[in-house]
Structure 1
Amino acid sequence: MPVSDGDIVVRLAARGDGVTGDGRFVAGAAPGDRIAADGAILPGAHHQAPPCRHFPECGGCQLQHVDDAAYADYLKDRIASALAAQGLAPPEIRTPHLSPPRSRRRAQLKAAGGVIGFNAEGSHRIVDMRECHVLRPELFDLVAPLRRMLTGRAGAAMTLADQGVDLLLEGVSAEGLAQAEALTGFARTHRLARLSLDDGYGPQTMWEPEPVTATLGGVPVPLPHNAFLQATADGEAALVAAVREAVGEARLVADLFAGLGTFALSLRGRVYAAEGARDAVLALKSARREGLFVDHRDLFRRPLDAAELGRFEAVVLDPPRAGAKEQMPLLAVSPVPRIAYVSCNPATFARDARTLADAGCRLDWVQPVGQFRWSTHVELVGRFSRA
């Protein structure tokens, strides 16, 4: 089947489709593939056999058909394109750090009618999970037992804590002594760190033999229900290393949107940690770390002003996907010499980078991190400095 240069896939689009030289989008294609006249994909050097039987039906992964080199280029291209859309020339975009297969330590699965797994791509239909190449084995080992136990519609949020798996069942209640005993028996049999139920009125702990913690920066921190942890321990280490490099020798640092203290507990010197979520603040306040001051502060409603920011030698911020639109203008006009910006959304990162650039800040480098392996999700750390 004849093909032209325009039929060669030259890159991956934001949602993972292959894009040909003449601008066509082709689902399931990888860079270097050729697209025949009948639409067939002729695999190229970067097209690999997907390792999981559920791909591409399962929505947990979108890019198992591309090799690591093409996946790394995809992550870099997402960041460069977002910066270009804001009129910013790309800085040094470093080689992405990719978390290995079977390393994800948290997941939210859906269950109904004796099936359990991730939803199908773009659908509410559940793909019954029989294998998974992204989850930690400790999490995947619970899938079959949960399939047997959860006969109705439910959600299962799993997080690997220091003591084992923290399991939160959503849409499940214990009606009577027999059901309660069955659930605690399940927790005991599978050596759960904690079992909690949320029947629509918030999580309630049913089983917790000892207080559940997550160790961050070498410090055990109480783990609240539904608390945010980086997706993989490997990815967390890569993000922390990039943040520490960006901060350098600063001895007085502000960590904004601090969460449970992923970065605050890993930094040297004195650290001011601001966080709006009450449970995370209480957990971080209980962490034993000398020189740490924790402030319960909603940075969307009450961002730090330029005078407050001026006390610090460096600022770290890790906002949610919406970015830090309210904080950025004040940070831009502050005298803070170094900024480490952690983001899970290249678009809002680029928007906020534009605000800093307009105030004379320089984006020195970006370190991409692929924690959600084979997905279209992008994590990064960017270092800004003042000329």
Structure 2
Amino acid sequence: MSDAALIERIAARGDGVTGDGRHVAGGVPGDRVRDDGIIIPGPNRIEPVCRHFGKCGGCQLQHVAEPALADFVRDRVVGALEGQDVACADVLPALLSPPQSRRRATLTALRTGKQVALGFNAAQSNQIVDMRMCPLLLPELFALIAPIRELLTMIAQQRRPVKVKLQMLDQGVEVILEGVKAEGLDAAMALQDFAGAHALARFAIDQGDGLETLWQPEPPTMRFGDVTVEVPAFAFLQATDTGQAALVDAVTRAIGDAPAVADLFAGVGTFALSVQAGRKVYAAEAARDAVAALTAAANRARALVATEHRDLFRRPLIPAELNRFGAVILDPPRAGAEEQVKQLADSSVPAIAYVSCNPASFARDAKMLVHGGYTLDWIQPVGQFRWSTHVELAARFSK
């Protein structure tokens, strides 16, 4: 074994890495790799649970045992902070979402002759892996794959990709098909029959002229805390129930009993509505349909949530505005929130709960906050996208 190098960690894109920096596709910590590239399996390697693994781009790490998978999620966060020379008192063990828990997914379909392929794209490719099983998706979502494939034989155009968006809401599954052509009475009847037969919460299609809602027996909703929101079509929601619960719990701990809180990049209110009981919340969001849904929900519930339609990249809150709050919740897109973080760094807000879906942009922003006088108290890594290299987290900063 002396000529076999030990794989010590998993890199950001899922390759194993040896002590001397050699990247090995499919390598797992504890494996050894010979000079000829042959991998000698170690204790952290398991048999993938899906027959599509290795081809489908939905998962990169099904061959990694649970403890090593949790270590990878945590190590991604630690590595990003080290790259920016940011110290953290406490990086907690990662929380992983279980199998069959993904409640939202965007798939691609392609019709060739009478056959329709439907699934995730192959890794680093536009080729579609035709999904015949999926240990990621909620069973209710996967149950729709075969019926959608059959429906698309009628309304998908030849060799024109169709986007298939699925999301579980309170009333059932929402299905959105983009890039289809539903012409004539037969197609219209087939679409209605499909929605009714599968008791969909909402069914909408886009034939090129914008989204048409074909089926919506009642306004589709999601519940955050004790408030119900009527959500727009394929509104951004956290990918799993357990992931959302982990992030909400971390945010709640981070803001403590602050009587007034700002939720920046608030979306439809995942955090604002989950923490609003007993305090005032200001929620800012740039997406007009999302902030309208949040406003209506807060009004119906008579919650003390003030909303503003505001682009925080172009018009971040300045210190004079921020200093009114006992805590700020920040949940920006993957690129982070550089302009808003610059203003926060100059503020005197006592606590910041930062939720991130990108350890690299988080670490960059964390460096600015620390230079501004904040302490990074703790981080909760979250592996919401199981078996994926996609890592999320929630962190607390204090001043």
With the shorter chain as reference, the TM-score category is over 0.9
Aligned to 2:191: 183
Q: Which runs of 4+ in 1 moved over 3 A?
A: 2-5
The code of the aligned residue for 2:323 comes to: G
The code of the aligned residue for 2:122 comes to: A
Note the C-alpha offset of 1:89: 2.4
Aligned to 2:388: 375
Aligned to 2:126: 124
Matched, 1:140 2:142: yes
Among 240, 249, 253, the alignment partner of 2:248 is 240
8 Å contact kept, 2:106–2:164: yes
Note the C-alpha offset of 1:174: 2.1
The code of the aligned residue for 1:120 comes to: A
Matched, 1:281 2:295: no
Among 293, 310, 318, the alignment partner of 1:297 is 310
Aligned to 1:92: 90
Q: TM-score, normalising length from structure 1? A: 0.97
Q: Distance in 2 between matches of 1:15 and 1:202?
A: 35
Aligned to 2:152: 150
Aligned to 1:343: 356
Among 56, 59, 65, the alignment partner of 2:57 is 59
Q: Distance in 2 between matches of 1:90 and 1:25?
A: 28
Q: Percentage identity across aligned positions?
A: 59
Q: Distance in 1 between matches of 2:245 and 2:169?
A: 16
Q: Distance in 2 between matches of 1:262 and 1:202?
A: 26
Q: Distance in 1 between matches of 2:337 and 2:36?
A: 47
Matched, 1:78 2:80: no
Among 199, 206, 217, the alignment partner of 1:198 is 206
The code of the aligned residue for 1:385 comes to: S
Query: 1:185-220: CA deviations, max 9, x gaps?
Result: 111111111110012332110011111111112321
8 Å contact kept, 1:84–1:90: no
Query: 1:120-158: CA deviations, max 9, x gaps?
Result: 000000001111011000100000111112133311100
Aligned to 2:172: 164
Query: 1:99-136: CA deviations, max 9, x gaps?
Result: 10000000011111211100000000000111101100
The code of the aligned residue for 1:338 comes to: A
User: Secondary structure of 1:326's match?
Assistant: helix
Aligned ranges 1:325-344 → 2 under 5 Å: 325-344=338-357
Q: Distance in 1 between matches of 2:288 and 2:208?
A: 20
The code of the aligned residue for 2:195 comes to: A
Query: 1:254-292: CA deviations, max 9, x gaps?
Result: 000000100001114110011110000110011124211
The code of the aligned residue for 1:129 comes to: M
User: Secondary structure of 1:150's match?
Assistant: helix
Structure 1 residue ranges without an equivalent (≥5): none
8 Å contact kept, 1:3–1:37: no
The code of the aligned residue for 1:47 comes to: R
Matched, 1:266 2:274: yes
The code of the aligned residue for 1:189 comes to: A
User: Secondary structure of 2:338's match?
Assistant: coil
Structure 2 residue ranges without an equivalent (≥5): none
Q: TM-score, normalising length from structure 2? A: 0.94
User: Which segment is superposed worse, 267-276 or 335-344?
Assistant: 267-276
Q: Distance in 2 between matches of 1:290 and 1:22?
A: 56
Q: Distance in 2 between matches of 1:3 and 1:155?
A: 50
Q: Distance in 1 between matches of 2:368 and 2:79?
A: 17
Among 20, 29, 44, the alignment partner of 1:22 is 20
Residues paired across the two proteins, number: 384
Matched, 1:310 2:359: no
The code of the aligned residue for 1:331 comes to: L
8 Å contact kept, 1:276–1:296: yes
User: Which segment is superposed worse, 102-111 or 213-222?
Assistant: 213-222
User: Secondary structure of 1:9's match?
Assistant: strand
Aligned to 2:117: 115
User: Secondary structure of 2:349's match?
Assistant: coil
8 Å contact kept, 2:174–2:234: no
The code of the aligned residue for 1:123 comes to: S
Q: Distance in 1 between matches of 2:44 and 2:99?
A: 18
User: Which segment is superposed worse, 342-351 or 284-293?
Assistant: 284-293
Note the C-alpha offset of 1:247: 0.3
User: Which segment is superposed worse, 144-153 or 373-382?
Assistant: 144-153
